[in-house]
């Protein structure tokens, strides 16, 4: 999962980045609010934003407001030396999901992050998603329809199921064995060859947008990159 960490204290920022990377996150570090919003716009697809409040050039509250204008769903955690009630309330008003007062333990931050992810995943499980935006394409998994630039392409059931699985794990690896067992029922050699054919077909369906790739991850499986 990708995390945008915006922290103007270079020592704390580096320690947090190294800690989160060691815990399996892909963490980008910005040194101030202006750099933070620039990275958010240019790189995008972040699963969480962690923002210090008191920063030069652009404070954490202003950064959060701009992030919310671009993405209303991405979780935001504030890190701050401020413990005043008014500041905490302001943080939640601009869209914070949590608020941690310095000093704090890295383990506490990790636990709070995991709690937010659990809540999000539960909400996603309770509300099935059938429509996905894939670059310039729109994919309706319920009707097996892939739309691009006003035209629609009807996918087969297997193509649709495989593309839906890739969309649910966008920019993350999907293991071959898991995909085969989920969609084909078992991971036999012949089913694996069949899946390779369907992956090739999906690449052709998505070829009009060069920013989209379905990559073979050696020893892992596939990854839909958008």
What confidence tens digit (pLDDT) does each residue in 92-141 have? 878 788 888 888 889 889 999 988 988 877 665 555 678 999 999 999 99
Does 20 score more than 80 pLDDT? yes
91 and 200 both lie in a single domain: no
198 and 151 both lie in a single domain: yes
The per-residue pLDDT for range 167-208, each reduced to its tens digit, is 988 988 899 898 999 999 888 999 999 999 999 999 999 999
Q: How many domains are contained in the chain? A: 2
Which one of 126, 160, 187 terminates a domain? 126
92: number of CA atoms within 13 Å, CB side? 8
Does 68 score more than 60 pLDDT? yes
139 and 114 both lie in a single domain: no
Question: Which residue range forms the structural domain that includes residue 210?
Answer: 131-225
Q: Which CATH number belongs to the domain containing residue 99 in this structure? A: 3.40.50.2300
100 and 203 both lie in a single domain: no
Instruction: Look at residue 181 in the predicted model and tell me its pLDDT.
Output: 92
17 and 102 both lie in a single domain: yes
Instruction: Look at residue 15 in the predicted model and tell me its pLDDT.
Output: 95
């Amino acid at each position: 999962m990708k995390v945008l960490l915006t922290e103007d204290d270079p020592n704390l920022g580096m320690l947090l980045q190294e800690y989160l990377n060691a815990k399996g996150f892909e963490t980008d570090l910005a040194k101030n609010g202006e750099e933070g919003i620039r990275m958010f716009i240019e790189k995008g697809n972040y699963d969480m934003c962690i923002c210090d409040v008191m920063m030069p050039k652009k404070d954490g509250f202003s950064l959060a407001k701009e992030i919310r204008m671009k993405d209303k769903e991405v979780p935001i955690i504030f890190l701050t030396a401020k413990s005043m009630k008014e500041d905490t309330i302001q943080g939640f008003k601009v869209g914070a999901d949590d608020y941690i007062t310095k000093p704090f333990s890295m383990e506490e931050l990790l636990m709070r992050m995991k709690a937010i992810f659990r809540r999000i995943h539960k909400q996603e499980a309770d509300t099935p998603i059938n429509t996905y935006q894939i670059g310039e394409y729109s994919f309706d998994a319920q009707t097996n329809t892939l739309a691009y630039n006003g035209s629609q392409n009807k996918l087969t059931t297997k193509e649709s199921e495989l593309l839906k699985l890739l969309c649910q794990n966008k920019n993350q690896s999907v293991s071959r064995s898991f995909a085969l067992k989920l969609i084909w029922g078992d991971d036999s050699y012949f089913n694996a060859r069949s899946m390779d054919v369907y992956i090739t077909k999906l690449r052709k369906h998505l070829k009009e947008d060069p920013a989209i790739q379905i990559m073979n991850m050696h020893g892992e499986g596939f990854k839909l990159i958008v």
